[in-house]
């Protein structure tokens, strides 16, 4: 096919169903593969979905759509996942820190540039460990713009565009190890008129030598941990704070002024017994406005080759509350999890090694920073006994908290106001409302819209670390269970066991109207898009640029000929405009495999280091003549 004849208008309205039917008929009739029959309508992005399904429990009938999206982490598989709830159907897996040969993540030049490469062009990292996914905010609820996700393994933050549900930026934090807790701010701490996410906060769980260049290897007492702030817009690291102890999870206040991290290693210990030595650990609060004032005033240092300003948040430097940037509130032993209540009033830390949760009142924390509360412990307003191994807490927007109990294998529903009354001495306060068995050993739980002011108390998801007997056996590695609980009534109802491939940790449940996707890319968003004018082969010495277009059911060049030893860059633009019409591009023995969605452009660069004839073929079933959609990639000896 002559590439110049590639149709670039695609403007005849017809549906995907009509398209497939018509094209198949063309094929059967033996009509040559001109592209006249392939004109398609550009589907409008984010078209309105069918009305909410009338359903009971988790059943979503064929043709019906779910009410919620769940965006969940995937642990050491390195990706993010999108589920529909309540059905639990997997809608998408978003590659982030992993390499994914379905979409070509880590294979295409564009994805490699996002992940980061070494000087030789290979990926700097091919692994990751994602735990926490959180959405960007506006007016205290999700704005549907971005998701942020952590990589505990290599201490990176990634951003995912919610409109395409693709990762667009990854930032590595300098001088940080075990970056675990992540949370966006919900309002600007300095300019309070800006009521949306501008920063992303990151805790560091592991302490390391600062800088980590071989010094102090045998002196862990000298090691330290940094809290980091990343710009949501540019994804650059704005500043860091050195703290005493470590930081596990992270939460932010609705007023934008405070970020908090639970600390299980206030001991700064390097071994298990040492980390459990103290009777109480802490939740560290950082006063963001004061941190930024110090940075602005130049009162910071830098570490090693990093240019990022580092301010001192350790206790010794923050003895005076009125100028302090940090407050260490003593909480139950080795806590795990810190969560902000949707009314904006409280942070809840769980005890893990203590059967309690600690409730800290934000207004008291702010009063401490003003010098009006003496003892840091006076910011604690409740510490109810809730069960064994409490980890994470979700909220229903009706004043109730739901904490996962790892050791008891339960979700416990308790009332925050009752816990506060009990702490004040009310012996009749009914704190524990109900306990529900989950199966088994829950890690995170999270509720529908529970991390926003619009917490709606409909669903609670319990992400369980062990599934044991809940599913058909599949060998030594078990799936994990995501158990869906209906929390809308007086009593919690377990309504489904969904499987999950290891290992999801945290997630968010987002009302579907918040999410506005675009279903088709815009060709002009890709500066390297192939045009009918520049399509073909361009050679400069041994550098060969192959510019290819796809339109069902053909690539624009039937033959692509290069010489052994050439460095080949292949750029592919998908000219199909019809929604859902994706093509693949694979070259045998060359490890090339990626897809191009409608109107998208991607490229790969590789050395043609062995001669032969290789069928460059479409991997993504696109057309009745999908199998015929292939070109000869010829490498001359
Ligand atoms: S952590 Cu995994 S269960 Cu990374 Cu949020 Cu608690
Ligand atoms: Cu194009 Cu399959
Ligand atoms: Ca401890």
Burial class (CB in 10 A: 0-12, 13-18, 19+), 124: middle
Does any ligand 2 atom lie closer than 6 A to the CB of residue 96? no
- Cβ count within 10 A of residue 222: 13
> Pick the residue with more confidence: 184 or 16?
184
- At 588 the pLDDT is 98
Q: Does domain 3-46+522-636 have CATH number 3.40.50.11540?
A: no
Dump pLDDT digits (tens) for 44-71: 333 444 455 445 578 899 999 999 999 9
From residue 250, give the alpha-carbon distance in Å to each of 72, 179, 284, 301, 593.
17, 10, 10, 24, 38
Take residue 108 and report the two structure tokens written for it.
Answer: 């295409």
What span, in angstroms and rounded, lies between the C-alpha atoms of 209 and 176? 10
From residue 544, give the alpha-carbon distance in Å to each of 78, 422, 538, 558, 592.
34, 74, 6, 17, 16
Best residue among 131, 152, 264, 463 to mutate for probing ligand 1's pocket (most ligand atoms within 8 Å of CB) is 131
Does any ligand 1 atom lie closer than 6 A to the CB of residue 458? no
From residue 531, give the alpha-carbon distance in Å to each of 5, 8, 258, 272, 525.
11, 9, 50, 60, 13
The residue contributing the CA closest to ligand 2 atom 1 is 583
What span, in angstroms and rounded, lies between the C-alpha atoms of 441 and 459? 19
Domain ranges of the chain: 3-46+522-636
CA 75, 77, 78, 83 torsion-angle sign:
negative
What span, in angstroms and rounded, lies between the C-alpha atoms of 608 and 415? 65
Over residues 290-318, the mean pLDDT reads 98
* Residue 583 CA, ligand 2 centroid: distance in Å: 4
Over residues 366-380, the mean pLDDT reads 98
Over residues 410-422, the mean pLDDT reads 98
From residue 433, give the alpha-carbon distance in Å to each of 134, 184, 403, 494.
28, 31, 12, 16
What span, in angstroms and rounded, lies between the C-alpha atoms of 80 and 183? 16
Percent over 90 (pLDDT), the chain: 90
* Residue 97 CA, ligand 2 centroid: distance in Å: 27
Does 302 have pLDDT greater than 90? yes
Does any ligand 2 atom lie closer than 6 A to the CB of residue 621? yes
- At 189 the pLDDT is 94
Does any ligand 1 atom lie closer than 6 A to the CB of residue 159? no
Q: Are 526 and 600 in contact (CB under 8 A)?
A: yes
Which residues crowd ion ligand 3, with CB under 5 Å? 264, 275, 278, 281, 334
Dump pLDDT digits (tens) for 575-609: 999 999 999 999 999 999 999 999 999 999 999 99
What span, in angstroms and rounded, lies between the C-alpha atoms of 448 and 154? 30
Q: Are 378 and 364 in contact (CB under 8 A)?
A: yes
> Pick the residue with more confidence: 22 or 322?
322
Q: What is the DSSP string of 449-517?
A: TTTSTT---SEEEEEES--TTSS---SSSPPEEEEEEE-SSSS-EEEEEEEE-S----EEEEEGGG---
Take residue 231 and report the two structure tokens written for it.
Answer: 């710009």
What span, in angstroms and rounded, lies between the C-alpha atoms of 90 and 322? 50
Torsion of CA 74, 79, 85, 86, to 10 degrees: -40
- At 55 the pLDDT is 52
Dump pLDDT digits (tens) for 467-491: 999 999 999 999 999 999 999 999 9
Q: What is the DSSP letter of 356?
A: B
- Give the residue from 630, 520, 634 showing the smallest Cα distance to 574: 520
Q: Is omega for the bond preceding 531 within 30 degrees of 0, making it cis? A: no
Does any ligand 1 atom lie closer than 6 A to the CB of residue 511? no
What span, in angstroms and rounded, lies between the C-alpha atoms of 80 and 85? 16
């Amino acid at each position: 096919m002559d590439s110049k004849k590639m149709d670039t208008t695609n403007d005849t309205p017809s549906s995907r169903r009509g398209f497939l039917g018509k094209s198949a008929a063309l094929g059967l009739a033996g009509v040559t593969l001109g592209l006249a029959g392939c004109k398609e309508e550009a589907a409008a992005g984010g078209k309105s979905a069918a009305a909410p399904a009338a359903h009971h429990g988790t059943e979503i009938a064929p043709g019906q759509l779910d009410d919620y999206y769940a965006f969940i982490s995937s642990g050491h598989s390195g990706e993010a996942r999108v589920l529909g709830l309540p059905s639990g159907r997997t809608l998408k897996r978003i590659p982030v820190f992993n390499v994914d040969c379905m979409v070509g993540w880590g294979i295409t030049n564009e994805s490699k540039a996002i992940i980061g490469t070494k000087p030789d062009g290979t990926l700097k990292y091919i692994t990751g460990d994602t735990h926490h996914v959180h959405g960007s905010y506006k007016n205290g609820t999700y704005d549907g713009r971005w998701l942020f996700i952590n990589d505990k393994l290599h201490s990176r933050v990634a951003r995912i565009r919610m409109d395409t549900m693709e990762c667009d930026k990854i930032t590595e934090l300098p001088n940080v190890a075990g970056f675990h807790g992540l949370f966006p701010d919900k309002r600007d701490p300095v300019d309070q008129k800006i009521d949306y996410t501008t920063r992303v906060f990151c805790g560091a769980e592991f302490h390391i030598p600062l800088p980590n260049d071989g010094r102090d290897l045998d002196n862990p007492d000298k090691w330290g941990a940094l809290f980091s702030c990343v710009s949501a817009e540019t994804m650059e690291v704005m500043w860091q704070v050195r703290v005493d102890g470590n930081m596990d999870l992270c939460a932010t206040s609705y007023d934008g002024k405070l970020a908090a991290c639970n600390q299980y290693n206030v001991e700064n210990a390097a071994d298990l017994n040492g980390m459990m030595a103290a009777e109480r650990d802490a939740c560290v609060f950082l006063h963001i406005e004061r941190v930024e004032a110090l940075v602005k005033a130049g009162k910071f240092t830098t570490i090693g080759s990093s240019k990022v300003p580092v301010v001192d948040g350790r206790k010794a430097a923050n003895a005076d509350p009125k100028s302090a940037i940090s407050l260490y509130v003593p909480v139950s032993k080795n806590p795990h999890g810190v969560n902000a209540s949707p009314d904006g009033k409280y942070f809840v830390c769980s005890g893990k090694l203590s059967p309690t949760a600690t409730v800290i009142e934000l207004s008291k924390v702010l009063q401490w920073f003003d010098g009006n509360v003496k003892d840091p412990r006076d910011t604690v307003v409740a510490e109810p006994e809730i069960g064994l191994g409490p980890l994470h807490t979700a909220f229903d927007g009706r004043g109730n908290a739901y904490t996962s109990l790892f050791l008891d294998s339960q979700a416990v529903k308790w009332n925050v106001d009752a816990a506060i009354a009990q702490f004040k001495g009310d012996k009749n306060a009914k704190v524990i409302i109900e306990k529900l068995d989950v199966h088994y050993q829950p890690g995170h739980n999270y509720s529908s819209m529970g991390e926003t002011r619009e917490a709606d108390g409909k669903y609670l998801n319990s992400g369980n670390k062990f599934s044991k007997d809940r599913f058909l056996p599949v060998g030594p590695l078990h799936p994990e269970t995501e158990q869906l609980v209906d929390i809308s009534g007086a009593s919690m109802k377990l309504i489904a066991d969904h499987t999950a491939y290891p290992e999801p940790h945290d997630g968010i449940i987002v009302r579907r109207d918040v999410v506005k996707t675009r279903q088709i890319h815009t060709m002009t968003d890709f500066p390297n898009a192939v045009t009918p004018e520049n399509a073909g082969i361009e050679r400069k010495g041994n550098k060969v640029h192959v510019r290819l277009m796809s339109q069902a059911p053909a690539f624009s060049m039937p033959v692509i000929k290069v010489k052994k030893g050439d460095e080949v860059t292949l750029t592919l633009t998908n000219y199909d405009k019809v929604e859902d019409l994706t093509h693949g591009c694979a070259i045998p023995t060359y490890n090339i495999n990626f897809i191009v969605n409608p109107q998208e452009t991607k490229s790969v660069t590789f050395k043609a280091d062995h001669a032969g004839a290789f069928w460059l073929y479409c991997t993504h079933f696109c057309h009745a003549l999908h199998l015929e959609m292939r070109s000869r990639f010829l490498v001359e000896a």
